[in-house]
A and B are shown apart, each in its own frame.
Chain A
Amino acid sequence: ILNVEQSPQSLHVQEGDSTNFTCSFPSSNFYALHWYRWETAKSPEALFVMTLNGDEKKKGRISATLNTKEGYSYLYIKGSQPEDSATYLCAPSTGGFKTIFGAGTRLFVKA
């Protein structure tokens, strides 16, 4: 894995808005993909791990999908709340167990 791209870099939304982010990665030698949530002054925490093409995971208002053939994953947040404000990091891993982090998408949710 040479390059992981996340977009947008930052996003400002109003409380109640739904939003989504993209993570793009080279599809060769794919092993797994983690999404992490990183709040200011805290440690990054894992949200989801996905391994299979077509995987969909959901936790409350947050869900994610994975397409390993074309090399992308989407993270969706339904009805954003101020407490969702954080940086969302995408981290794909290769079969050699190397994990590369994207630069993250910084989400700001205004009440």
Chain B
Amino acid sequence: EAGVAQSPRYKIIEKRQSVAFWCNPISGHATLYWYQQILGQGPKLLIQFQNNGVVDDSQLPKDRFSAERLKGVDSTLKIQPAKLEDSAVYLCASSSAGGTEAFFGQGTRLTVV
């Protein structure tokens, strides 16, 4: 089966610019996660969707980050405006249900300069 697809793989932007990441989960997976992994730290959950509803977005900086999963399949994560500290790998993962094994995409490495 096809894995979790993410794009782009790499992105370099200047601070205060906007950026968007895209994720296509494994077919049939109801749960989709966006994680932020800053160098030297473990992945931090930004937002968890169950189908097209938000289960947890408590650690999403809502003043600049937004995410949607309109049809319960693909998802986009947006940062507007970006700050230097947003430089990280953004991982998308999906699972058949919350708390079960998550399958990860290859991530988008964002560098904000």
Contacts and interface: CB of A to CB of B under 8 A. Distances in A.
Contacts of A26: none
A42 B35 CA distance: 15
A93 B99 contact: yes
A89 to B, nearest CB: 6
Given A43-B106, A97-B55, A102 B101 contact: no
Contacts of B42: 4, 6, 89, 101-104
B98 interface: yes
- Chain B interface size, under 10 / 10 to 19 / 20 to 34 / 35 or more: 20 to 34
Interface in B83-108: 91, 97-107
Interface residues of A, number: 25
Contacts of A42: 106
A86 interface: no
Interface of A: 4, 6, 31-32, 34, 41-46, 49, 89, 91, 93-94, 96-104
B41 A103 contact: yes
Contacts of B104: 43-45
Contacts of B91: 43-44
